[in-house]
């Protein structure tokens, strides 16, 4: 991987550097061409200038030849005159040609050409006119000749000035071109040097990057070598064999440990799968797998190869070279191809024979332990039965003796009482121990009986009330809401739980009382299901929160003094909770030290008379309302019994007013706290119904003000019932703190309202 990274980095750097060089090369070539082009222009100007000088020479030569001929008559001058005349015109035409690319100079060259023609023709004309002048002296002819010299000079001068002007311009051009070429050359040189520097810097940078990568690669390789060494050491240390199967290429690597594990002294194998048998001297490794394990082995391997499992695990037996079987655990993971199927499986073989033997041993031991526990259980059951039989006789005799107490003296009677208590305790203990062992070993199965709640509770009450009466505490069962409930369950076990809970409640209560409160929760009439909730509430010593869970552990009591003072085994609650759980329910406790405890049993039940339950609940509600109604009517409200309703919402005023009317309770309405205060100052009310949220002055403020007034005027406290829509704990708290006596939640429930009203009207009457 590291190598791959370095190669791609090298390629990327090389591409970058080559691109830079190509770019610089193109840039330099174009600059060089530009320099060449500018040099060519310089050369061109030089050629033009030298042509100008040739023209000037020819101009002078033509004039000199003409004069030489006219003064000497030597025909050689004439020949030269003609030749130089042609040369002058040729030279001027060349100038015209050379300046074709420069319109301004070209126009001047044209002018030079035209003027040269005039110049040449005038000289030719004079040559012909005065060709015999040298032979004889003729003053007139001489004068004419001399006077014509001015014209010659003029033409010569004019032509010269044209040529000079042309030359001047060309010199200027040459200067400009030379400086442009020089500038370009300097720029080219500079760029060349910069490019060279840039190229060197780039190459150095590339080398540096490559060097760093190479360094990292070497470090990584070193690290990998170390890891590899560590792995090898670790593998050697754990004695595991390593395999690396290239599924696609059908090659495999097997470390020597894999062979050693099976008792074969072989080195690592790394080659085609097909060559493995030859390497093992004709032995097929698959043939070494236990016949009972081979199918599962192949199946697990197939699942992995076909991508059905992402991890490979196989546990199988392999025949050791010495003939015995060893247990091997193969584990591995795959390298997956793009199709999601593994292309490689790499993993390890561990010899787990010792572990397997240990498991076998443990299993055997466990079976033996279970067997012995069962035997103990049977022994315990047998023993307890055996003990119970004579014990029953002993307790029977004790009861007979107790019934004949008048025949014995006080001391003897006290002995008989102790005998009865001890036999009862012993019987309870034996029953508990037996029960617990049965539950522990899962031997208890629950029955499905038809249970009549009335009967069940009546039984419990009748059994337990003796103890309650003895202790002079109150004991009652309230299940009016669900009287006549018939449901399916294990009657004996349910009674056992209740007797245990009630027994404890009575045992730990010195004053106050014990009550059993039953109700139905989550009642679904359609499928006759519900949760039966039975609470055993006492006003006894209570239990510290620290022990709320501990008391459900076997043989646990809150502290030693308890067992000393109250007796008991610490098995009742664990048995009860286990039974409740077996019924699919729960047994929980809520208790405060010094205030009492509530044990809540909740079990899901199937109701066998759902219609009756529904009807009963309706009847019960009606009965309750009727009871309130009767109570309210018995109050015989008179003019004095007036209620103040403080409520801003018209809907509530109508509803509450309707209820009050129905029961003949007189009332006034105040729409906010201020109105309520006014009315309170001017009238006397037995109860105030106070809404909390109102405009102008809310219910809490109004209550505070009423309480202040009562204090100032030394009036008795008027019961104030708050009416709150939220009914959160905080709201309720606020109500009480502001001085209210009670609260009811909105929307107003008729029975709640009447119940509260009844309570305070009764107190007031």
Q: Which residues bind ligand ADP (CB under 6 A)?
A: 500, 504-505, 508, 538, 540-541, 543, 551, 557-558, 562, 568-573, 597
Q: Which of 285, 209, 185 is nearest to 245 (CA)?
A: 285
Closest CA to 199 of 27, 422, 376, 414: 27
Give how far Cα 354 sits from Cα of 119, 320, 537, Å.
131, 14, 57
> Shortest approach of ligand ADP to residue 352 CB, angstroms?
45
Coarse DSSP helix, strand, coil percentages of the chain, rounded to the nearest 5 percent: 65, 15, 20
Q: Which CB, 460 or 520, lies closer to ligand ADP? A: 460
Instruction: Output the CA–CA distances (angstroms, integers) from residue 566 to 271, 474, 589, in the order listed.
Output: 81, 19, 19
In whole angstroms, give the CA distance from residue 480 to residue 624: 10
**In the complex, minimum distance from the CB of residue 315 to ligand ADP, in angstroms, rounded to a whole number:** 46
Pairing of strands 325-336, 311-319: antiparallel
Judged by CB, which is closer to ligand ADP: 65, or 538?
538
> Closest separation between CB of residue 571 and ligand ADP, Å?
6
Instruction: Find, among 732, 721, 716, 727, the residue nearest to 756 by Cα.
Output: 721
Q: Residues 496, 579: contact at Cβ < 8 Å?
A: yes
Q: Report the DSSP pairing between strands 342-351 and 513-524.
A: unpaired
Please identify, using beta-carbon distances, which residue of 570 and 657 lies nearer to ligand ADP.
570
Phi/psi at 404 (5° precision): -100, 35
Question: Kind and range of the H or E element at 380?
Answer: helix 353-403
Between 502 and 694, whose beta carbon lies closer to ligand ADP? Answer: 502
Q: How far is the CB of 580 from ligand ADP (least distance, A)?
A: 13
Q: Which is nearer to ligand ADP, 551 or 670 (by Cβ)?
A: 551
Which is nearer to ligand ADP, 551 or 645 (by Cβ)? 551
* Min separation Cβ 431 and ligand ADP, Å: 11
Minimum Å gap between C-beta 383 and ligand ADP is 21
CB 25 within 8 A of CB 178: no
Give me the least distance between CB of 713 and ligand ADP, in Å please.
48
CB of 389 to ligand ADP, least distance (A): 24
Encoded tokens for 606: 């199937």
Q: Are strands 474-478 and 513-524 parallel, antiparallel or unpaired?
A: parallel
- Rounded to an integer, what distance in angstroms lies between the CA atom of residue 459 and that of residue 259? 76
In the complex, least distance from residue 440 CB atom to ligand ADP, rounded to whole angstroms: 15
181 or 541, CB closer to ligand ADP? 541
Which residue, 48 or 497, is less far from ligand ADP as judged by CB? 497
Pick 453 or 505: Cβ nearer ligand ADP = 505
The minimum distance between CB 384 and ligand ADP, in angstroms, equals 17
Residue count of the chain, please give it.
765
DSSP state letters, 164-220: HHHHHHHHHHHHHHHHHHHHHHHHHHHHHHHHHHHHHHHHHHHHHHHHHHHHHHHHH
- Which parts of 441-526 fold into alpha helices (H)? 453-471, 491-507
For ligand ADP, give the closer residue by CB, 289 or 601. 601
């Amino acid at each position: 991987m590291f190598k791959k990274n370095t190669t791609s980095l090298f390629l990327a750097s090389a591409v970058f550097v080559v691109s830079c060089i190509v770019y610089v090369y193109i840039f330099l070539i174009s600059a060089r061409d530009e320099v060449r082009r500018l040099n060519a222009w310089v050369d061109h100007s030089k050629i033009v200038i030298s042509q100008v000088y040739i023209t000037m020479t020819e101009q002078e030569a033509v004039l000199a030849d003409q004069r030489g001929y006219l003064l000497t008559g030597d025909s050689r001058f004439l020949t030269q005159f003609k030749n130089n005349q042609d040369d002058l015109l040729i030279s001027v035409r060349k100038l015209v040609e050379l300046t074709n690319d420069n319109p301004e100079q070209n126009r001047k060259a044209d002018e030079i050409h035209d003027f040269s023609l005039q110049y040449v023709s005038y000289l030719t004309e004079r040559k012909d006119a005065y060709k015999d002048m040298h032979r004889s002296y003729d003053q007139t002819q001489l004068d004419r000749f001399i006077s014509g010299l001015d014209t010659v000079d003029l033409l010569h001068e004019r032509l010269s000035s044209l040529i000079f002007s042309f030359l001047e311009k060309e010199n200027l051009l040459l200067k400009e071109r030379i400086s442009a070429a020089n500038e370009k050359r300097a720029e080219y040189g500079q760029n060349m040097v910069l490019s060279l520097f840039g190229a060197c810097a780039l190459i150095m940078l590339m080398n540096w990057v490559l060097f760093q990568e190479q360094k990292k690669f070497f470090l990584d390789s070193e690290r990998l070598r170390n890891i590899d060494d560590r792995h090898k050491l670790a593998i050697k240390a754990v004695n595991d064999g390593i395999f690396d199967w290239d599924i696609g290429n059908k090659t495999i690597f097997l470390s020597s440990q894999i062979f050693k594990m099976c008792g074969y002294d072989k080195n690592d194998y790394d080659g085609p799968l097909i060559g493995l048998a030859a390497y093992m001297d004709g032995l097929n490794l698959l043939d070494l797998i236990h016949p009972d394990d081979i199918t599962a082995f192949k199946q697990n391997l197939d699942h992995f190869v076909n991508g059905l499992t992402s991890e490979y695990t196989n546990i199988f037996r392999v025949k050791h070279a010495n003939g015995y079987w060893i247990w091997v655990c193969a584990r591995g993971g795959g390298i997956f191809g793009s199709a999601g199927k593994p292309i490689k499986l790499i993993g390890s073989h561990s010899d787990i024979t010792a572990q397997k033997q240990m498991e076998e041993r443990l299993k055997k031991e466990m079976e033996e332990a279970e067997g012995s526990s069962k035997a103990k259980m049977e022994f315990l059951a047998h023993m307890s039965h055996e003990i119970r039989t004579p014990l029953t006789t002993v307790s029977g005799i004790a009861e007979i003796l107790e019934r004949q107490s008048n025949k014995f003296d006080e001391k003897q009677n006290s002995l008989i009482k102790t005998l009865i208590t001890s036999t009862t305790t012993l019987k309870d203990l034996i029953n508990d121990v037996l029960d617990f062992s049965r539950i522990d070993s899962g031997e208890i199965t629950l029955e499905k009986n038809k249970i009549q709640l009335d009967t069940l509770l009546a039984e419990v009450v009748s059994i337990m009330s003796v103890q309650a009466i003895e202790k002079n505490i109150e004991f009652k069962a309230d299940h009016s809401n669900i009287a006549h409930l018939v449901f399916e369950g294990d009657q004996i076990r349910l009674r056992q739980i209740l007797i245990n809970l009630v027994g404890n409640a009575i045992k730990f209560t010195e004053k106050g009382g014990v009550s059993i409160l039953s109700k139905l929760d989550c009642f679904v009439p359609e499928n006759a299901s519900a949760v039966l909730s039975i609470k055993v509430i006492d006003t006894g010593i209570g239990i510290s929160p620290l022990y709320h869970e501990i008391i459900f552990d076997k043989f646990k009591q809150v502290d030693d003094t308890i067992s000393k003072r109250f007796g008991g085994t610490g098995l009742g609650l664990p048995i009860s909770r286990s039974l409740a759980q077996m019924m699919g329910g729960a047994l929980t406790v809520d208790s405060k030290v010094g205030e009492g405890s509530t044990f809540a049993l909740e079990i899901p039940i199937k109701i066998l008379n759902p219609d009756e339950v529904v009807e009963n609940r309706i009847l019960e509600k009606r009965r309750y309302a009727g009871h309130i109604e009767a109570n309210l009517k018995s109050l015989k409200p008179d003019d004095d019994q007036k209620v103040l309703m403080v409520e801003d919402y018209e809907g509530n005023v109508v509803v509450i007013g309707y209820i009050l009317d129905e029961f003949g309770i007189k009332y006034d309405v105040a729409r906010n706290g201020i109105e309520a205060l006014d009315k309170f100052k001017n009238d006397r009310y037995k109860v105030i119904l106070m809404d909390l949220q109102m405009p102008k002055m809310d219910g809490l403020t109004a209550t505070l003000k009423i309480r202040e007034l009562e204090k100032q005027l030394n009036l008795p406290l008027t019961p104030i019932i708050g009416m709150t829509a939220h009914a959160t704990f905080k709201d309720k708290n606020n109500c009480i703190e502001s001085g209210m006596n009670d609260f009811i939640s909105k929307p107003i429930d008729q029975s709640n309202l009447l119940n509260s009203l009844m309570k305070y009207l009764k107190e007031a009457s």
